[in-house]
Amino acid sequence: MTKIARDGSNVTDADWKFRQNASNFARQGYAIRGLLNASLLARATDGETTVGDITGSVVCLDKDASARPGFVVSASGQIGLVCQSCGEAFEFPVDSQSVVHVARDEAELASWEDEAFESIGGDEKTSALELVEDELLLAIPYVPRCEKCEAMGEDAPVSREFS
Ligand SMILES: [Zn+2]
């Protein structure tokens, strides 16, 4: 029996780290939400990146509202980055969410290859923590730039990946 953490319950680190088939995150009623402290988010804190408390969630898609099973993963909070232009540390707000559709099998997953949405195989093992961490990593700019350097814009030596 898989553990389901609902709103208001005490979500533990073990709940976040619990690895299971991705299809379980798409099961009706699944929801996990809460604060993830920096010690859990080791993968996001390598190099010069630091994280404060990040609020994360993984919530199943309502089967009546979505043609395909799946879940919504979100990450929000503050991360600390170092500007690649001036070398100053700065705070970067993250508020990101993605819908991930869960395929029944390899064939279905392959048939979605050209679709714009994100997808994962139902038997792929993952944890709510890994999903939130991936979402967080996606939100971090490839070339971090502080607001001041970002505002200087065009003449800056590195290309703008994010506007
Ligand atoms: Zn800068």
Near ion ligand 1, which residues have CB within 5 Å?
83, 85-86, 146, 149
The Cα–Cα gap between 32 and 58 comes to 5
Q: Quote the pTM value.
A: 0.84
Residue of 126, 51, 143, 66 lying closest to 99 (CA atoms): 66
What are the pLDDT digits (tens) for 60-89? 999 888 889 999 999 999 999 999 999 999
Residue 6 counted as domain residue: no
Residue 158 counted as domain residue: no
Residue 77 counted as domain residue: yes
The Cα–Cα gap between 24 and 38 comes to 26
Residue 147 counted as domain residue: no
Number of compact structural domains in the chain: 1
Averaged pLDDT for residues 134-158: 84
Distance between Cα 114 and ligand 1 center (Å):
37
Residue 134 counted as domain residue: yes
Which position has the higher pLDDT, 8 or 48? 48
Average pLDDT value for the chain: 88
Residue 1 counted as domain residue: no
Domain interval for residue 123: 13-81+89-142
pLDDT confidence of 23, banded at 50, 70, 90? very high
